[in-house]
Amino acid sequence: MPRPTSDIDDVEACATRATDAELDDLRARLTAARLPEAETVAGAGPGPRRWEQGVPLADLVEVVNYWLTQYSWRPFEEQLNRIGQFRTTIDGLGIHFLHRRSARADATPLVLTHGWPGSIAEFVDVVDELANPQDASSPAFHVVVPSLPGFGYSDKPTTTGWGTERIAAAWVELMGRLGYSKFVAHGGDWGGNITTVLGGRFPSHVLGIHTLFAEAPPGLTTDGLTAAERKWTEDTRDFWRHRAAYAKQQATRPQTIGYSLVDSPVGLLAWILDKFAEWSDTGDSPFETISVDRVLDDVTLYWLTRTGASAARIYYESHNSLDPELRVDVPSAITMYPRDIEKCPRPWAQERYRRIVRWRSPEHGGHFPSLEVPGFFVKDLREGLAAVLAASR
């Protein structure tokens, strides 16, 4: 891989620092919050049934109190600044990204793309280990973590058109500006969709991909699938029929929900916490595996950047937009975590991803594996990308 230069045109270093006034305003709004009465399934014991109507009142009150009295935003800011933050303008839009170069001469450039309701907070705890692994036999990466348009410290699009195809093209431009003409890519959720587009549209730049998202072409039947694979398709269909109101809202009326997400920190917390709870591999609460501080880092990032509405618009721009004819011919590693919300059987995935060099179905983990099972996530990502790189030579 070419060694990137240290002085790159059109890229500027930046730092994160919320004002004391912004943090005081957040605390004032939390203190003045008006809450509804408890859900009518209150009294149900620990387990998913407690969450049937959404975030239980008692859980929300507990997290709000922690946010108000114990949580500190400053450590997350400092972590971002230690990793290295940068901005550049691509296609008229300011793009923010983290960039950690490896000390290893054999490191491969890697772009990690988050989804919704995630952010760059999904990857901050794994960047260093990916860039400079303690085990010298492990592959090393120059790690780039962009904030999606309308998310975090990236600019908010002022016109329509910033869907996943355009974002993927922007990532190729971004990596090129950093001196990475060829790279590997990883993502889940919208990041997995974008990673799929990267592999399918830009094979001259993308050596291969590792994704937690595999969307099969439409019209495939369950003939020949195993019972477990058919169950995957049934669970995914059930999710989209009965548990995806959030996606339909954001795909059709992101502006309407956006007023609440930008004006009320408690409303924003509830909207995001609901997904961390439902989509994590836990029995009752997302905090069984994910720290409350990391969830609040994510939510506070949305709050301080006022991106509740602009982030929701990625659904308006890209919901159900993946080209049914798109084929991915670069080497692909795919991991399907057991509690993720969409799971695609390998026979279906192979209709789009034509060179699957590694396929894994772990025993544990949900939609946010870099936060739920970070040690396993790093190991799996390394092994998957190692298989991809071996196949790309």
The reported pLDDT for the residue numbered 121 is 98
Model pLDDT, residue 328: 98
Predicted confidence (pLDDT) at residue 272 exceeds the cutoff of 80: yes
**Following DSSP, what letter does each residue of 212-243 receive, concatenated?**
S---PPTT---TT--HHHHHHHHHHHHHHHHS
* pLDDT (tens digit per residue) in 144-195: 999 999 999 999 999 999 999 999 999 999 999 999 999 999 999 999 999 9
Q: Which of 229, 12, 181 is nearest to 99 (CA)?
A: 12
Over residues 347-389, the pLDDT tens digits come to: 999 999 999 999 999 999 999 999 999 999 999 999 999 999 9
H/E element holding 89? strand 85-90
Q: CA-CA distance, 90 to 243, in Å (whole number)?
A: 35
Q: Note the pLDDT tens digit of each residue in 232-254.
A: 999 999 999 999 999 999 999 99
Q: What is the pTM of this model?
A: 0.96
Arithmetic mean of pLDDT over the chain: 96
Q: How far apart are CA 295 and CA 300, in angstroms?
A: 9
Over residues 330-335, mean pLDDT: 98
What are the tens digits of pLDDT across the range 35-88?
A: 999 999 866 677 778 999 999 999 999 999 999 999 999 999 999 999 999 999
Overall residue count recorded for the chain in this entry: 393
Q: What does the pLDDT look like over 294-324, one tens digit per residue?
A: 999 999 999 999 999 999 999 999 999 999 9
Query: Is residue 2 pLDDT above 50, yes or no?
Result: no
Domains of the chain: 11-392 (3.40.50.1820)
Is a pLDDT exceeding 90 seen at residue 6?
Answer: no
On whether the CB atoms of residues 161 and 152 are closer than 8 A, the answer is no
Query: CA-CA distance, 348 to 216, in Å (whole number)?
Result: 5
- 8 Å CB contact between 387 and 333: yes
Residue whose entry in the numeric block shows the structure tokens 């790279």 = 183
Q: What percent of the chain has pLDDT over 70?
A: 97
Beta strands 141-146; 183-187: pairing state: unpaired
Closest CA to 192 of 126, 112, 266: 112
What lies within 8 Å, CB to CB, of 95 at 6+ separation is 87, 88, 89, 146, 147, 149, 154, 155, 170, 174
